[in-house]
Copies of this chain bind each other. A is one copy, B any other.
Amino acid sequence: MSRRLVIAVDGVGGDAGPEPVLEAVRTGPPDVDLLLVGPEAELRERLGAVPEHVRLVDARDAVGMGDDPVSATWGKRRSSLLVAAEAVRNGQADAMVTPGNSGAAVLAAAVRLRRVPGVRNLALATTLRGPGLGPTVLLDIGATVVAQPEWLVEFAVMGAEFAKARLGVPRPRIGLVSNGTEALKGGPAQRDAHLLLATLPGYAGQIEAYDVFGDRVDVAVTDGFTGDVMLKMYERTLDLTAQVAVDAVAGAAGKRAVSAAVRAALAADRGGVLLGVGGVCVVCHGAAPARDLAEAIALAADCVRADVTGRIAAAFGGARRAAREEALL
């Protein structure tokens, strides 16, 4: 029997403070152990009885949602984010999950877990699903706000490994998010990236935002600015539409059925998986409720089991070996 995985959870929390995290820790996936990282005395008091699968790890500094990521990372050396990342680096935990300041989370992971050799920039990946449609990995959703065209090629390689490892897609088709599918579409950044991506196995050309739901591609690549905007449009439109639909249905059972159907058919990942660092780090929404945080913990465990980090390292190692061999010819 394989050993139980250990997930380090940032207990300082998101927009609503630690309560949703504590609720997720109390009721979350029973098949993993948890390190709850944060101000120990406070968390112990709020948590009440500490469940058997939970261990508290003290971290006295807290990074707020409005803190500047760079100052927070260098100024708060005992922040829950850095302590959680250290736990992963030291092998005390297999992965980390945080609903905190996402810029600071990315930086903490980059600093403590290091980049995978060959990766210059990190990307946060999420998986979108539509009714009856295959899942699509969308990255970057916010780790690297402005991306050079070459960086998008790295994101494409990481996204493809993620799709292979986590979704079991043997040969992922990769699309570049643009404003149309013709080669003439996009601005200079998209056109340059399009030419660079053309050398990549599985590249299927430029796609429209529509195509992140559909069967055209398995991986949709974009810069962190565009990905952030796409994901937020998706989340807000989904929530508003579901709310209007639920309100229009008579009867509690009907309302519940609509709500459940929307969640089942259109369930996106409840966190972004940070790709390109030497360990698994899942960054949730600051406003994530306990249920989403519990799903994010399960997502982190899935990524460990699927060896997402190892597969990305292997893909970049192979590319670096090939480049070295080519240089020797």
Contacts and interface: CB of A to CB of B under 8 A. Distances in A.
Interface string A236-263: 1110111111111110001001101110
Interface secondary structure of A, over-half rule: helix
A140 B19 CA distance: 41
A266 B249 CA distance: 16
Contacts of A235: 210
**Which of A142, A145, A229, A246 has the most CB atoms of chain B within a 10 A radius of its CB?**
A229
A317 interface: no
Can you tell how many copies of this chain the complex includes? Answer: 2
Contact of A209 (B233, B243, B244, B261): B233
B232 A209 contact: yes
Interface stretch (A167-175, A181-189, A303-311): A181-189
B261 A244 contact: yes
Interface stretch (A25-33, A195-203, A220-228, A273-281): A220-228
A259 to B, nearest CB: 9
Interface string A91-130: 0000000000000000000000000000000000000001
A225 B233 CA distance: 14
Contacts of A229: 177, 179, 209, 226, 229-230, 233
A187 B223 CA distance: 11
Interface string A145-182: 11000000000000000000000000000000111001
In order of increasing CB-CB distance, the 10 nearest A-B pairs are A245-B245, A248-B261, A209-B232, A146-B187, A241-B241, A233-B233, A179-B228, A237-B237, A209-B229, A244-B265
